[in-house]
Structure 1
Amino acid sequence: MPYIRPVSDLRNNFSEISRVVHESSEPIFLTKHGYGDMVVMSMEAYEKKIFESEVYFKLREAELQAKSTEKRYPHEEVFSDLRSKLAKKVSEDV
């Protein structure tokens, strides 16, 4: 169930709102005059949402690309290529 609070609680109960967003990892929806105005969430929850969004868009892009061609790659080839790229990246960072 979403947390819904008046926007004035941001000023009057900031510590409580901060505690709730960090403990629950859920956003708090703030209302102004009874209408949705803004959303407050922890940095960790925000970063997780951004990551999930990026993954979703990459998967969607891959789906569209797969529909446009019949070419397929065996998973052994894909993972081998990924492992070599990761190993190269790690060696460059060291």
Structure 2
Amino acid sequence: MSRFKVNEDIRPLSEFRAGVASFVKQLHETQRPMVLTQHGRGVAVLMDVQAFEQLQERLEILEEIHRAEEQLASGEGVAHDEARSRVLKGLAQ
């Protein structure tokens, strides 16, 4: 996903209603999310499906890392040599 550009990617909801196809084209071409506003306040974020899927994948990885860090902090971790031994044993079976 490309970096958000304030002057191009914040648009009124009324413009979106009037030109949905051009908004979808812009999302696809720029790979940037777009913020829709109503009465000057953000009400929705639009993004390309591929960019959304990539964002979800990244979030899942970050959640797994966070969960692993919590486990290590609470003493639930397994030493590297032990983990390696378990993996190799599982592969041999």
> Which structure ranks higher in relative contact order (CA pairs < 8 Å, sequence separation ≥ 6)?
2
Q: Give me the whole-angstrom Cα distance separating, in 2, the residues matched to 1:34 and 1:56.
A: 33
* Mapped pair 1:21 → 2:27: yes
Q: Which runs of 5+ in 1 are unaligned?
A: 85-94
Larger CA deviation: 30-39 vs 14-23: 14-23
Match of 1:56 among 52, 59, 62: 62
* Match runs of 1:30-69 below 5 Å: 30-69=36-75
Q: Which amino acid aligns with 2:69?
A: E
Shift, 1:75, TM fit = 9.3
What is the TM-score normalised by the length of structure 2? 0.75
Q: Give me the whole-angstrom Cα distance separating, in 2, the residues matched to 1:76 and 1:15.
A: 52
Cα RMSD, aligned residues only: 2.3
Shift, 1:76, TM fit = 7.9
Deviation string, structure 1 residues 20-59 (Cα, Å, up to 9, x no partner): 1111111100000100110111111111111111111000
Match of 2:80 among 55, 73, 83: 73
- Give the share of equivalent positions with the same residue, in percent: 27
